[in-house]
Structure 1
């Protein structure tokens, strides 16, 4: 059971037990001495001695615990976090061993191991570079192949979630919702007609034609569903007749074939790799969510531990009031810039559509989410998505006693925020996303492989910040 507690808490409990044991031994010894003396008039003297000894013992244990916590437990916790960051998050900065001077050879051994990790990482990086070059060549050939197919193409997993789409398909999908990897097709197409066609495809194993309405019911698409051979899932081809497609348009590809193997399980049992995340940030007129307003929202999607560069959301928001000069000095957004921008109701609805099927991630999430919750009724949306906070994730990985600001996390994990983008919604959202992507393998190395396990750990640090789930 004690293994569930942090190292610092276990050491604290050890000293508490030591103090209680010392009090029990001291009290027992004094009681035995008083009993054998058989002089009732010595009761006050023995009682005074017991109290003095007890408080002295407690003070001594507390002082030694504080020294031990500061010079042993905290340095071990920091050193372990740094080693984990190097091993699993690709951090290359030198280990900070200044606080580990009382740990004997542990710091030197950690530095030696870090050097070995760097050498291994360099070899792995070279292999990855070669494989990346190969994958880019494959992607180029795939894009060239799709160019010969004058229709929009979407690859879909067996649970009807998007695995691949090209540029033309993105234009079609965007008529109903932002195109997104791992998004359910129900956001774009009427599932009744689609599932009927999919049933025919599964029974025949051959290409099937179907006319399917868009999710909004406004469009009617002529589709062809093609099987993937022995692989799970299928391909949807949009005929150009009703989709307004042009064969010569660019065909950039967005895909992750590993999504074909993704199982749909209960959220708590879902692996972190199997989830989609939307990382976002806001800029506001001030720091009071109950009365200030949002002036900018920036967000991007993370699927299978990587940022999807083409799937972003960014908008200015007209707060309906003057933006204080002090706030403009921080984020650079003035009254002139937000003229003609949507109000919070429209911006929140658009952002909700972008984030509808994902876990929301933010740094200090209660602050940003408070603005959205305050305007939820006006926007006509419910912000009931699960939320992860990188402040709490930092506490899980690096210990509650560490600094958990975004700048501190970026410094700790070798993430650079260009000065021009700091305190812009998209700049801070990207920095948070890069930090989050480096945290994911560290969480898995911690044994936290499912969303439920991560959530349970973050709730233990609820004293730092409000839990949004």
Structure 2
């Protein structure tokens, strides 16, 4: 960074020396003239003062013009070229401020274009050589995202290196380089990993299973873990798992029902057995006693039949691991239209059932086929009729009705070879439903009621971001300040408020994005409105567009702050003009129960340290300097400004590293003291 004077100071000293020298020469000339003329001194003194001050003023004016039109543009061009040498800035160099430098600005623009062309050529060559790898990577991403089981890859210290969508659904908002212990109770997983290591040490590597609860204890996950080995060293583990909460709950309930049923049947069975023994051994038993014994046996048999025919026994008998899922009625109807030759019409429906779609389709296929094949049956129609928590699938027709006996014969037949001996009757029992015929004024029909499911609103198609895996993150266990900038995790955040006084005003929106390994993780964002507990002034609403109606029902600052604290855990905070945002959080620290571990970094202060010649360090100015496009629709929203600040900070890091700033501690020093630039 050097100890030499800066360019602007050198020019200022040059013009100061020019002014002082000119005044000295001017004063010397006046003194010489007065000595020769031997006239009054007063006139010469006045002339000298006027001329001297005039000369110094002229020198200062010319110096300021030179600084504004030469020195600062030169420094600006140098900074622009230096920035472009260290990081990719797609926009051209602004030549307006350097318009008085002749060919220097066009030359700088030519260098920028040459750099862009070189980068483009390099990227094109790399892209061509890695096209196959990119296709394999895209396939890998698609497979991981669409797996029906959760997948997490962890490092040896159990920090997340990869996760898929299902894992996020089961464990919560996962994030790269976050500890798995924040989402899963690790004891069973650690034991499985230890068993894996023991088997591997014996030369018998194998996958181990585990049953673990989520961190909040709400779900039980059944899964397996296997090591990832490279060059005979374990570099991590792969965990695959699924939600077994309902399965285990159902299993426990069935075990309880079975135990109750067996215990309830034990007493009458034992009593009957004892009485039978008495009757077998008592040949000389009086007739009256024998009659009483037979009556007692009949009573015990009634009790036994009551147990076996009761609801508990029925639940045990009908409980099977039947594949129940959410199935659209339209999918069942489409399948029937595709496979059946019998003509029938369909009434469109957007209803969703909770059922075994394959079994119900097989059952309806048989019913429609048999009904349509009967003489006199016409105008077959399939429809779905809502009835409370159920949806009735209805087959109606004009013509003779079908008897319940005939329908029962169709239902008793096996469903299909895929289900073995399971019949349609078994499927109806598993769905806890019935099927029947009925006749009305509009004709005959067959009704099959099934449990309704609620179709969720179709989510907007998510943007595909390659931010759910990172295998190249190094393990780091030293002090946070010694961590390299390229290895640190950052959370760039922004707030929108009711005003500009941190001591009095409140947060109405807070958002953040994560940076890790030199990239922006667009899949890991935090964004929430906050109810400030007071009216939002119209002047503030005019800036960020958030009014009282929008924050109604939003979490308060305590709940939102705790959620943001969980999101920012283990990361260094970054913001533009961070002192304001941090003052807002500090004012609510006791209410939230959280204070950041390290001071926040400020992109405004870092810009001032990197570009001391620049007079504008606003977010818009930084975005223009680094070629970051800010979506006007997102400007002055917490998430939009956080994303823009994150893009700026990412482009700033290579420039800082080129200046020798490589660790977090050094970066904090630069923010406090500034960066002394070489001349």
**TM class by smaller structure:** 0.7 to 0.9
Instruction: Work out the CA distance in 2 between the residues paired with 1:188 and 1:5.
Output: 54
- Structure 1 residues 144 and 122: alpha-carbon distance in aligned structure 2, compared to 1, 3 A threshold: closer
Q: Which residue of 2 aligns with 1:227?
A: 228
Q: Which moved more, 1:264-273 or 1:361-370?
A: 264-273
1:13-412 map, 5 Å:
69-100=67-98, 106-130=104-128, 133-143=131-141, 146=144, 151-174=149-172, 178-191=173-186, 194-195=189-190, 197-202=192-197, 204=200, 206-207=205-206, 208-216=208-216, 219-222=219-222, 223-230=224-231, 233-242=235-244, 254-259=468-473, 261-399=474-612, 401-412=614-625
- Deviations along 1:197-240, whole A, 9 cap, x unmatched? 54554453534444445444555544424233336532232432
SS in 1 for 2:163: strand
Higher relative contact order (CA 8 A, sep 6+): 1
8 Å contact 1:157–1:232 — kept in the other structure? no
Structure 1 length-normalised TM: 0.79
Equivalent position SS for 1:336: helix
8 A contact 2:16–2:60 mirrored in 1: no
- State the alpha-carbon separation in 1 of the partners of residues 510 and 145 from structure 2: 35
**What are the Cα deviations for residues 85-137 of structure 1, in whole angstroms up to 9, with x where unaligned?**
32333223332344446767654543332232122122123235446754542
**Cα pair 1:221 1:238 within 8 Å, conserved:** no
The structure having more radius of gyration, on CA atoms, is 2
TM-score normalized by the length of structure 2: 0.56
**Cα separation, 2, equivalents of 1:265 and 1:8:** 41
Give the CA deviation at 1:182.
1.2
Question: What runs of 5+ residues in structure 1 fail to find an aligned partner?
Answer: 27-51, 463-469
SS in structure 2 at match of 1:271: coil
Change (3 A) 1:420 1:253: closer
How far apart are residue 191 of structure 1 and its match?
5.0
Q: Report how far residue 186 of structure 1 moved.
A: 2.8
CA contact (8 A) 1:143 1:253 kept: no
Q: Distance in 1 between matches of 2:522 and 2:9?
A: 41
Give every structure 1 segment of 4 or more consecutive aligned residues whose post-TM-superposition deviation is greater than 6 Å: 9-12, 14-19, 54-65, 243-246, 248-253
Partner SS for 1:403: coil
Moved more, 407-416 or 111-120: 111-120
CA distance in 2, matches of 1:345, 1:442: 38
Whole-angstrom CA distance in 2 between matches of 1:57 and 1:192: 83
Indicate conservation of the 8 Å contact 2:193/2:225, yes or no: no
Q: Could you list the per-position Cα deviations for residues 303-345 of structure 1 after superposition, in whole angstroms to 9, with x for gaps in the alignment?
A: 1222112111111100101111111111111111111100000
